[in-house]
């Protein structure tokens, strides 16, 4: 497998070593604040735009580059056109303007009746209107109540003529626990403040208490708009991983998509073109609150000490501290923290959506494994006291080696089709997890043979009717299907709308992966909970070790032992899971040490001789010498392995002595 050239990104960008770190980094391109401001002024002054906004009270609510995502081979280039969105309060509408950047030439303006999530500037104006209202101003001035961001962030109100208007919500929490909060409606169009009284809005009815959650922090929150991309190559010498990371506030999608990855290469070979979380929602039991469609653009502050390597990216010498670590909301940094932990490279950020806090992690293992994780927390509020389910939907644009010739297969044990555990997905389809069948998926390149497993996390659950599904295999359609905004019909994910029978076998494809965590704070507490899958190279340590040796002919005996003896046994099943979870690291260790590999080949040859004896009358047994050699091999792997591998090897190391003098089946029965 070819190595990535040191100091060069997959698209040729030169990367420089970051002082005091174990990575190289580069900023691909950044639009300066001066160019951004110049663009906004230019489009606003243009006569085609002025026709829409002249004399209207309006505000810039977003500014983003226009991306096509169609040319995967060219790499990131500065987008030629950007889009500015203005909210026109006088006419209750959004005005969208696309034009060439930075000159603002050739603008194309259009009007939309959408109702975007409020910006921080809008919320600040709404709070000032609440402060000036005689019903609430004195309490805020005295400090007897504190403002907070409630859910939902806005409501849609109809005036007498049937016109739907966007109304922002401001929460007011009384000082002192156990006191009922208030949610105030602020109409920026009419400059009016309305109280819901003791009832609250329909999606957040007021109740007593706040479930002892921490209070909302007072810190600057970074919202959608600022630039933030960074090429990352790790480790510094002989890099294994190279990718482009995008901070949440600059991520793609209607509601953004958290820490976004693009051009993800392992040892110089493409794994993912894009990976992010474009859809996130919450459903409460009996609709006690919500449901809510959340957003992933609002960067919340957390504690991260280190040095900034690009706008929105900070290298940390020690792991950052989030609300999950401290039970405290707030900190000294907004953006993406990068650090090393247990031999892995980790990217993490904290995002706010009203009272929810989402802590996202990407963990890159040196043996080719990606751990995609999302944790859930909340600030002091009454709604989270009610049982609810968080639904998160990752979008993985797999390009295993190349964009095309990719294939998705599904594994089931016990199988759902006779004679095979694997079956391929030929056309677009939706699937559900099935933990009873150890279900997982494999994405492979049918030409090169490179492949990765998509392995569900233990807490990822199975979708209910609101969650819709657990996995979708779809044909790639670029930015048109980067989220479900084109077919969105409510707070639920609507990925089913994209399943229309297109061919996905040997195609450029996308895998959506949904995780669903049921949170009942009365039983599981207020601590953070984690969901997310692993992306694991589909290596088999036994097959890789035997490759090119005279024991390849004995692999059938080992496979039969695995399927007929190990799988039905509880201990054997755990052993298979251990091997599959750590295959990439075991393969790497044996490849890098020929003496160790030779010992493993000889041991496997003798084990195959024992387990290949299928006679029940006189089965072969594990002799003292064979057990001793197995213990020595496991000890050598333990010494060289990562902390994760050392922990995984503890059970088989402890079990080996109990196989002494027994046949394979007798030994397995002794463990169960």
Point out the least confidently predicted range of 255-264, 475-484, 498-507, 607-616: 607-616
The alpha carbon of residue 256 and the mean position of all alpha carbons in its chain are separated, in whole angstroms, by 12
pLDDT given for residue 168 in this prediction = 95
Angle at 496 between CA 492 and CA 497, to 5 degrees: 100
Q: What is the pLDDT of residue 218?
A: 61
Q: What is the pLDDT of residue 617?
A: 47
* Cis peptide bond upstream of 496, omega within 30: no
**Least confidently predicted of 296-305, 361-370, 525-534:** 525-534
Mean per-residue pLDDT for 49-72?
88
DSSP state of 564: I
From residue 665, give the alpha-carbon distance in Å to each of 399, 576, 577, 657, 659: 42, 15, 19, 15, 10
pLDDT, mean over the chain: 88
Give the residue, 506 or 64, on which the prediction is more confident.
506
Residues 69/244, Cβ–Cβ less than 8 Å: no
**CA 215 – CA 3 distance, rounded (Å):** 48
φ, ψ of residue 512 in degrees (nearest 5): -95, 135
Both tokens of 321, joined, read 């501290």
Which is higher by pLDDT, 210 or 393?
393
Model confidence band, residue 72 (pLDDT cutoffs 50, 70, 90)? confident
CA 102 to chain centre: 32
Confidence of residue 225 (pLDDT cuts 50, 70, 90): low
Give the predicted TM-score (pTM) of the model: 0.88
Taking residues 278-304, report their average pLDDT.
Answer: 94
pLDDT, one tens digit per residue, over 439-463 is: 999 999 999 999 999 999 999 999 9
pLDDT of residue 525: 56
Task: Give the Å distances, CA to CA, from 203 to 169, 569, 649.
Answer: 12, 49, 49
Is the separation of the CB atoms in 532 and 394 below 8 Å?
Answer: yes
Q: In angstroms, what CA-CA distances link 278 with 252, 403, 514?
A: 8, 21, 11
CA 595, 601, 604, 610 dihedral sign is negative
SS3 137: helix
Using an 8 Å Cβ cutoff, are 224 and 251 in contact?
A: no
CA-to-CA distance for 350 and 334, rounded, in angstroms?
Answer: 8
CB-based contact 412:400 (threshold 8 Å): no
Q: What is the DSSP string of 182-235?
A: EEEEEETTTTEEEE-TTT--TTS---S--TTPPPPP-SPPB-S-S--EEEEEES
The stretch 469-480 carries a mean pLDDT of 94
**pLDDT category of residue 581 using cuts at 50, 70 and 90:** confident
pLDDT at position 187, please? 95
- How many whole angstroms separate alpha carbon 467 and alpha carbon 245? 28
Task: Inform me whether the pLDDT recorded for 143 exceeds 60.
Answer: yes
If pLDDT is split at 50, 70 and 90, which confidence band does 1 have? very low
- Check residues 235 and 28 and name the one with the higher pLDDT: 235
Lowest-confidence pick of 3-12, 19-28, 356-365, 389-398: 3-12
What's residue 217's pLDDT? 61
Provide the pLDDT for residue 210: 58
* Three-state secondary structure readout of 252-276: CCCCCCCCEEEEEEECCEEEEEEEE
For residues 378 and 384, the answer to whether their CB atoms sit within 8 Å is: yes
**Nearest alpha carbon to residue 43 among 142, 109, 129:** 109
Q: Is the pLDDT of residue 614 over 60?
A: no
pLDDT digits (tens, 9 = 90+) for 381-406: 778 888 999 999 999 999 999 999 99
- What is the pLDDT at residue 523? 63
Instruction: Extract the tokens encoding 621.
Output: 């047994």
3-state secondary structure of 554: helix
| Residue 4 in this model has a pLDDT that exceeds 50 | no
- Give the SS3 label for residue 146: strand
From start to end of 497-552, where are the E strands? Answer: 509-519, 529-531, 534-537
* Percent of residues, the chain, with pLDDT higher than 70: 91
> What is the spatial distance between Cα 616 and Cα 163, in angstroms, rounded to a whole number?
81
pLDDT at 162 over 50: yes
Kindly indicate the confidence band of residue 613, based on its pLDDT and cuts at 50, 70 and 90. Answer: low
* pLDDT above 70 (res 616): no
More confident residue, 59 or 216: 59
Structure tokens at 474: 């779809």
When pLDDT is averaged across residues 513-521 and rounded to a whole number, the result is 92
Of the CA atoms within 13 Å of residue 445, those in its CB half-sphere come to 16
Task: Quote the pLDDT of residue 221.
Answer: 67
Task: Calculate the alpha carbon distances from 96 to 53, 63, 152, 191, 295 in Å.
Answer: 11, 10, 24, 23, 20
pLDDT in tens, 295-330: 999 999 999 999 999 999 999 999 999 999 988 888
Q: Is 524 helix (H, G, I), strand (E, B) or coil?
A: helix
CA angle, corner 570, sides to 617 and 661, nearest 5?
A: 40
pLDDT at 261 over 80: yes
Q: Check residue 526 and give its pLDDT.
A: 60
Q: What is the pLDDT of residue 553?
A: 77
């Amino acid at each position: 497998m070819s190595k990535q050239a040191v100091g060069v990104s997959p698209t040729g960008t030169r990367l420089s070593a970051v002082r005091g770190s174990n990575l190289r980094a580069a900023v691909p391109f950044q639009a300066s604040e001066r160019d951004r401001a110049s663009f906004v002024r230019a489009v606003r002054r243009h006569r085609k735009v002025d026709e829409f906004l002249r004399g209207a009270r309006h505000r810039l609510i977003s500014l983003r580059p226009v991306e096509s995502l169609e040319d995967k081979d060219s790499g990131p280039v500065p987008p030629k056109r950007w889009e500015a969105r203005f909210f026109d309060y006088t006419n209750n509408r959004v005005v969208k303007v696309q034009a060439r950047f930075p000159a603002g030439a050739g603008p194309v303006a259009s009007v939309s009746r959408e109702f975007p999530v409020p910006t921080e500037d809008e919320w600040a104006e709404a709070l000032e209107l609440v402060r000036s209202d005689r019903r609430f101003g004195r309490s805020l001035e005295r400090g007897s109540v504190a403002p907070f961001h409630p859910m939902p962030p806005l409501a849609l109100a109809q005036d007498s003529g049937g016109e739907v208007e966007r109304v922002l919500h401001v929460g007011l929490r009384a000082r002192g626990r156990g006191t009922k909060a208030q949610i105030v409606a602020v109409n920026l169009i009419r400059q009016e403040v309305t109280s819901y009284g003791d009832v609250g809005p329909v999606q957040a009815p007021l109740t007593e208490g706040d479930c002892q959650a921490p209070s909302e922090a007072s810190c600057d929150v970074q919202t959608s708009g600022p630039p933030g991309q960074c090429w990352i190559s790790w480790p510094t010498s002989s890099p294994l991983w190279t990718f482009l990371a995008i901070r949440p506030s600059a991520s793609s999608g209607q509601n953004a998509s958290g820490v976004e990855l693009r051009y993800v290469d392992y040892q110089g070979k493409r794994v993912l073109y894009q990976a992010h979380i474009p859809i996130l929602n919450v459903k409460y039991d009996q609709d006690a609150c919500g449901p809510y469609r959340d957003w992933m653009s609002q960067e919340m502050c957390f504690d991260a000490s280190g040095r900034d390597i690009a706008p929105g990216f900070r290298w940390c010498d020690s792991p950052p501290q989030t609300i999950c670590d401290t039970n405290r909301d707030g900190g000294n940094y907004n953006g993406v923290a990068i650090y090393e932990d247990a031999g892995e490279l980790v990217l993490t950020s904290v995002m706010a959506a009203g009272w929810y806090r989402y802590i996202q992690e990407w963990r890159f293992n040196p043996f080719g494994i990606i751990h995609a994780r999302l944790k859930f927390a909340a600030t002091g509020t009454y709604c989270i006291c009610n049982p609810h389910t968080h639904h998160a939907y990752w979008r993985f644009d797999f390009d295993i080696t190349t964009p095309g010739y990719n294939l998705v297969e599904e594994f089931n044990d016990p199988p759902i089709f006779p004679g095979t555990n694997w079956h391929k997905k030929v056309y677009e389809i939706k699937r559900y997890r099935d933990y009873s069948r150890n279900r997982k998926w494999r994405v492979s390149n049918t030409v090169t043979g490179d492949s990765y497993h998509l392995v569900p996390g233990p807490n990822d659950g199975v979708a209910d009717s609101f969650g819709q599904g657990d996995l979708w295999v779809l044909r790639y359609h670029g930015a048109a299907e980067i989220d479900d905004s084109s077919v969105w019909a409510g707070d639920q994910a609507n990925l089913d709308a994209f399943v229309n029978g297109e061919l996905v076998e040997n195609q450029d494809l996308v895998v959506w992966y949904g995780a669903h965590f049921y949170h009942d704070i009365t039983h599981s507490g207020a601590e953070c909970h984690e969901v997310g899958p692993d992306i694991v190279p589909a290596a088999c340590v036994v097959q890789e070790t035997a490759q090119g040796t005279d024991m390849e002919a004995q692999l059938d005996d080992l496979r039969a032992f695995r399927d007929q003896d190990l799988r039905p046994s509880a201990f054997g099943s755990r052993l298979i899971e251990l091997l599959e979870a750590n295959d990439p690291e075991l393969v790497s260790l044996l490849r890098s040490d020929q003496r160790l590999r030779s010992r493993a080949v000889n041991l496997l040859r003798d084990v195959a001789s024992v387990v290949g004896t299928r006679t029940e009358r006189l089965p072969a047994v594990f002799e003292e010498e064979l057990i001793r050699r197995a213990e020595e091999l496991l000890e050598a792997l333990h010494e060289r392995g990562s902390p994760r591998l050392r922990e995984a090897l503890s059970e088989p190391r402890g079990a080996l002595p109990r196989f002494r003098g027994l046949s394979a089946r007798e030994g397995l029965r002794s463990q169960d």
